[in-house]
Structure 1
């Protein structure tokens, strides 16, 4: 050991102790960052374990629905009655039940409306729709009219409406294991999506006078009662979404008989509502490799021009779902195919008006099928019989087996690349929500990131499986830096309640930042194998149950064996940015003690130091020195070469080399380079350090150091890298794996600044052009078909 220490310590210029390099003199916050979360997470119990799994006493409630409702196309309203069977599996008795009345948020007196910030843009103006909403010109009598609340015997039950919540008082306490059956009758006016906006409603098509309905949050729904919150009856303010119990549904929907309808679940009476031709086409679609039109565009256009001659009732049944949605219109084109999902045949279907073609006919159902297979591989096999994609004004919203998606081509059938990509992305995202939160049933009212973030992460992976060149920027670290650069006063932690996230930041907070964090875990911190196993285990454990953030955090660690508390604290609970830097680099090499090399280096150094301007000029200005002119002024030292290697030097070196062990001699001969990097964590959020060493011969080597490098000092550390080759440049994060907000100090030596380019112009024009497909269509000779256009 002494010999090795001596060799390593015998550096040119100075003697170093490598152990001393790694011992910082100042303690910062690192120990806090890397301590376990402890009491920051809920105390484990028999309901939810420390491993993140449901405990032996885990329970959840069940709510079954039998609903009969009719849609009135003349005045865009719904009237319905529902029988709810509520089963109490909690260990305590219940004296009342809470239901969600989400339509009440559209009432002008709702908390969501009265607390919403509003203003008028004096610079750019405000739309008439916005002004109408402010002035009441667009007001309509929105919200539920509760007509009756009765028990199974038909007796009135006492109920109290509090905003978007309704409490139903029970005649006797509901004990554990017991069920209570009651009935609610109600009606409401459907939201005009173009005037009011929302997650569901109707769209009127003025050209043909027909209406397209996307209907959700349309019946009074049971609130969740669980072991974490008791009743989750936080008011619906519009942003925090929905928390619902699982149950079985039977729903009978009556609509005009010329409308096509799709809904959550399986159609029970197809022979009563479908034509023989439609039934035959559905049978063909079971074995088709591509979508089959069940209702063609020509048939939908014919329906647009006709009038209903009566009504039809579509009956659907859905088992073990947390919600129910439907869509209906006489404008609907309907296509379908079956896809094999983990050995089970599942329907992939789309409903869309002619205004969505050709884009929707080409992509929608195929993207649905892709999403089901992609997500099933990463979570659990899709358990339901069908998944719909429906086109309308709702930009993107999800329900069990149903999704409402935007992205409409231009009137001439062309579309931009952005429109196409958005369609693919939004369908993957909304269909993907079947897994989070429709199956892994998190509390959306409280934790938006648990469904939006996890789903956005899987969406990004599925997009790249669809097309490897797809711009799936929502999961890449370099694209979240704009948000993370914001002042901390303009950010919320991911763990903030949904309704409290600051305006304008909901997207990055609930979608992109958590999705990016999961991608960093998968690609950089844990690796794909460990991450994928743990993530799949989380989905398996909590499928058809109600997980919390702690259950996710604990499962990811439990199934992978990776301590991630530092990551949860920094990424999910904090708002600090990532900003790593290479402050400087010191370069050392081992002094081999070879006299030939030592004296050659000394001579080169001596000669270099003498190459001064004075000496250069003196070579011509001083014609002859005294010593040059008078030989008697010379002695031994005028001819002595102090850089010559003597026999004594050689003998001493041979003795030294012979004293070394084989491994020590090898180290000496290899001529290692020791680079001491002074690394700084300027942003505060700790992350792994990825360093690329670019060598002088044009090759490179990547070094990966876990985040625990910062565990003793979270501000500044030194790290020694040893190479045989000489390094020309060091670079941090060469693959953009961490969201470093300032990359200007990520290289050493620092790269020269790049010029900011500007344009020189004679005159400037404003206004956007048409999409490239539209331009190509204009330039085509008459009768020539543009790719993607259906004739």
Structure 2
């Protein structure tokens, strides 16, 4: 019995080694599990009856710097476009992530003493019924709140909700996406997820109620947000959107410099380090109320400090439109030519590049905030670490503002599909880095495996190998070990898109399809299949084999030259070349051949050569006897064994 088991095992192992590549698995036509419908087209477009709900917010808040307490009232005008009658509503209360009995923290220490002062404190939750505000029953669970309605909320109608709330700003709060930092000239305060927000109700799963445990980020509906913030008058404040009462807030000197910046390609210093002790608001003592608005947005965030240096410049957008790039940061962030005095130009350049290639920036202001949060994105605003400098500052600014496109404009579900925002954004960063100032900071390197002088195609190999039987790109972020999130969601996704653009589709076809996807799903909610279908239809290519092997699996690549037979007939030279796909992922095959006369030819074999098996023989015509065959001569593919890529005659 033992001998039989050993023999069976040996035969199975040998068989597996010679049959690792399975064309029927790689090119299985049954990739999509459902057909298109009236909500989401089979072509990747939003369907003729596509719908999404809308949430408009009016927030009135104040902040006490002595108690660190933010108090607010939010009125939500929620439009139910689904056609469904809803018995209850779900809201997100992400500041509750700081509570010890929140799900993510329970996983770490279920015996920790609960500090009831952490997270949102709700004083009142009401719904407007027949013109009168009525209190409603609700349940709090983790970072979510369910409002139980007394009457069904009919489809294609609106409901108004009002919530009085407060919470204490922690030094590193809100899932490390808010907080404060003491600097020499004053404290910096950063606020995110600072008001209760509607959860998304969509046509895919209904209510999206995944709790915020820190890995998966946000998924929100679009709407208009009107917010006022009353804070001490000596604190400079910036927030997502446009400051609509700037003439009532700022002194004439500040307004003059701000208007100068709106018309300047060069950075204009509005509030210098020497100005920090000078008054910049019309109200020198007490409090000032800042009134901001942002339309067609998923969210807003804001920050303030008396330590802020403030500079700005004009952004040039398509169709002769303009916007304002502005940065605020403490004096400690100035580090010669490599410090934050460059941040506004980095912001300006990034927004201009992304607008030119993918979708015009739709807002009037883009903002960098230098502070304690190391790098976090919000619509048209980013929290970037105050210590960043040089190339790191460029990469940070460019990446975080790039999120204004993915997922703030193209509103994918970050809580389930981190790769659709982090990976797409990392991908567009690569080309922005090549383009900015003629590649001043290029090439972009991403991933823990990057080595000086290395190649991204080679660096991705250990990413795939380390996770061969583990997490995949498509794995939800909260189900992915933290050490795997960056290699997969950022690096592998971005490199996969580079493969599509540079090898599989070519730049013209890829750019057309990817730009169409961005425009078609701007301010909407695409799912992974919408992206896959959109790229296939826009480029005219069945890419299911690539989605399966790269996104749903961690299949590897090993292309090899196995045989070269020289031919000569009627004085004409040639060769029959046999190649093999020794691993599971099929890819097109870039080839370079050289004959003994010194002539070099390059071409690319299409991926279809692997549809019927793992070997392929093709003929080449040459002017002399063949001297060399090289597969993937530019090292564009993540080939795990380059020793078998070359034949020399």
From 177, 180, 190, give the equivalent of 1:199: 177
Is 1:31 the counterpart of 2:29? The answer is no
Contact 1:81 1:183 in 2 (8 A): yes
1:118-517 paired onto structure 2 within 5 Å: 141-152=117-128, 153-193=132-172, 198-205=176-183, 207-208=184-185, 210-300=186-276, 309-342=285-318, 343-358=320-335, 359-406=338-385, 408=387, 419-466=389-436, 467-468=438-439, 470-474=442-446, 476-489=456-469, 491-517=470-496
Is 1:672 the counterpart of 2:577? The answer is no
Q: TM-score, normalised by structure 1?
A: 0.74
Q: Secondary structure at the match of 1:188?
A: strand
Structure 1 CA distance, aligned partners of 2:608 and 2:279?
65
Is 1:696 the counterpart of 2:612? The answer is no
Q: Secondary structure at the match of 1:219?
A: coil
Contact 2:503 2:636 in 1 (8 A): yes
Q: Secondary structure at the match of 1:474?
A: coil
Structure 2 CA distance, aligned partners of 1:527 and 1:735?
15
Instruction: Report the CA distance between 1:748 and its aligned residue.
Output: 2.1
Contact 1:42 1:550 in 2 (8 A): no
Is 1:53 the counterpart of 2:45? The answer is yes
Q: Secondary structure at the match of 1:472?
A: coil
Q: Secondary structure at the match of 1:367?
A: helix
Contact 1:474 1:516 in 2 (8 A): no
Instruction: Report the CA distance between 1:485 and its aligned residue.
Output: 2.1
Instruction: Report the CA distance between 1:579 and its aligned residue.
Output: 2.1
Structure 2 CA distance, aligned partners of 1:308 and 1:280?
18
Q: In terms of mean alpha carbon deviation, does 146-155 or 88-97 score higher?
A: 146-155
Q: Deviations over 1:620-671 (max 9, x none)?
A: xxxxxxxxxxxxxxxxxxxxxxxxxxxxxxxxxxxxxxxxxxxxxxxx23x3
| Cross-structure match for 1:644 | none
Q: Secondary structure at the match of 1:736?
A: coil
| Cross-structure match for 1:105 | 97
Contact 1:41 1:550 in 2 (8 A): no
Q: Secondary structure at the match of 2:575?
A: strand
Contact 1:191 1:198 in 2 (8 A): no
| Cross-structure match for 1:551 | 530
Q: Secondary structure at the match of 2:83?
A: coil
Is 1:737 the counterpart of 2:646? The answer is no
Larger Rg: 1 or 2? 1
Instruction: Report the CA distance between 1:27 and its aligned residue.
Output: 11
Structure 1 CA distance, aligned partners of 2:30 and 2:84?
31
Contact 2:512 2:538 in 1 (8 A): yes
From 67, 70, 75, give the equivalent of 1:75: 67
Q: Deviations over 1:393-428 (max 9, x none)?
A: 21111111111112616xxxxxxxxx4111111111
Q: In terms of mean alpha carbon deviation, does 435-444 or 139-148 score higher?
A: 139-148
Q: Secondary structure at the match of 1:436?
A: coil
Structure 1 CA distance, aligned partners of 2:340 and 2:351?
18
The number of residues matched between the two structures is 614
Contact 2:377 2:404 in 1 (8 A): yes
- 1:472 to 1:697, Cα distance in 2 relative to 1, 3 A: farther
Q: TM-score, normalised by structure 2?
A: 0.90
Structure 1 CA distance, aligned partners of 2:491 and 2:55?
33
Structure 2 CA distance, aligned partners of 1:676 and 1:571?
27
More strand by share: 2
Instruction: Report the CA distance between 1:360 and its aligned residue.
Output: 4.2
1:739-758 paired onto structure 2 within 5 Å: 739-749=638-648
Contact 1:98 1:166 in 2 (8 A): yes
Contact 1:300 1:332 in 2 (8 A): yes
5+ long unaligned stretches in structure 2: 1-17, 448-455
Q: Secondary structure at the match of 1:282?
A: helix
Instruction: Report the CA distance between 1:102 and its aligned residue.
Output: 0.5
- 1:140 to 1:278, Cα distance in 2 relative to 1, 3 A: farther
Contact 1:473 1:479 in 2 (8 A): no
Instruction: Report the CA distance between 1:150 and its aligned residue.
Output: 1.3
From 78, 86, 110, give the equivalent of 1:86: 78
Structure 2 CA distance, aligned partners of 1:685 and 1:710?
10
From 96, 115, 118, give the equivalent of 2:107: 115
Q: Secondary structure at the match of 2:482?
A: coil
Q: Secondary structure at the match of 2:212?
A: coil
Structure 2 CA distance, aligned partners of 1:488 and 1:520?
19
Contact 1:341 1:381 in 2 (8 A): yes
Structure 2 CA distance, aligned partners of 1:426 and 1:340?
21
- 1:718 to 1:321, Cα distance in 2 relative to 1, 3 A: same
Q: Secondary structure at the match of 2:537?
A: helix
What is the RMSD computed on CA atoms of the aligned residues? Answer: 2.4
